[in-house]
Amino acid sequence: MIPIYNSEPADWRDLQNKVAKIYTDLGYETTVEKDIQTARGTVNVDVFCTKSVSYLTDTNIVECKYWANSVPKTVVHAFRSVISDYGANTGYIISKNGFQSGAFDAAKNSNVKLLTFDEFQAAFRTRWLDAVIDKIEEVGYPLRKYADPMEMFAASDYDSLPDERQMHISQLMRKYYNISLHSMRILYKDVMNGKLQLEYIDETVTRHYEDFPEIKISCLMDYFDIMQDTCVKAVNAFDEAYGKRLRKRG
């Protein structure tokens, strides 16, 4: 299974930023190192995440412990108080070196979860994939309208351009055609019910690595970030080649 990230965080700040990036991709408004007001005063938390869902707000607070030792139960008890006092939906403590046995007892019957970074990635992988694949579909749609001859919407504009501009656009189409196809949601989700095809995603991503020979892609985060950046860059290149913004969106 290809992980979201392929390596352990380099330090405590990197751990915070990696956690925040996953939450941001999930559509949360995310802040690293945020002061929050609780019933017992101001508390600084490592990662603060909120997302409006219908008429409700989902609030997650994450503490990242990049410690040489495992996390003791006293830290869990203190964090439980913060989560309860603030009224957050869920709290996570992510530890580099695990937890002491008493820590898990301290987290029982609460909305505090104790995870290593690998366990955190595994717990969020499906939700994260669901979100980033929808984003790739969104940014890739206008590119497909430019790069796929079967979907091309700008034929009349193309025909009116001088030969050298047409040649340049044809080069762009060849360059970005395969990438535009790999931005399609149906490669990663069932076309009938929209559910992730988890058994095929790794194969699809691995097969598409060859489109980025100059970049070493070794994890899902790299793949989808580069795909998104490339789609945006390509659409801008087509806009420039046509001399105006011809973006079709779903």
90 with 21, same domain: the answer is yes
Radius of gyration over every alpha carbon of the chain, rounded to an integer in angstroms: 22
Of 104, 122, 140, the domain-final residue? 122
Domains in the chain, number = 2
State whether residue 50 is helix, strand or coil. Answer: strand
- Buried-state track 184-213, b at ≥16 Cβ within 10 A, e below 16: bbebbbeeeeeebeeeebeeebeebeebee
- Buried-state track 60-70, b at ≥16 Cβ within 10 A, e below 16: bbbbbbbeeee
Identify whether 6 is part of a domain.
no
Closest CA to 247 of 150, 162, 145: 145
Q: Which domain holds residue 69?
A: 12-122
Identify whether 1 is part of a domain.
no
Provide the whole-model pTM.
0.90
134 with 84, same domain: the answer is no
CATH code for position 110: 3.40.1350.10
- In the numeric block, which tokens belong to residue 12? 């405590």
Rounded-to-integer distance, Cα 47 and Cα 63, Å: 7
Helix (H) and strand (E) counts in the chain: 8, 5
| Average pLDDT along the chain | 92
Q: Which residues face 65 on adjacent strands?
A: 95
For residue range 151-174, what is the model confidence (pLDDT) as tens digits? 767 677 888 889 999 999 999 999
Q: Is the confidence at residue 249, as pLDDT, over 70?
A: no
Q: Is the confidence at residue 46, as pLDDT, over 90?
A: yes
Identify whether 2 is part of a domain.
no
Of 122, 138, 164, the domain-final residue? 122
205 with 233, same domain: the answer is yes
216 with 109, same domain: the answer is no
Q: pLDDT band for position 235 (50/70/90)?
A: very high
111 with 130, same domain: the answer is no
106 with 136, same domain: the answer is no
36 with 114, same domain: the answer is yes
For residue range 136-146, what is the model confidence (pLDDT) as tens digits? 999 999 999 88
Identify whether 89 is part of a domain.
yes
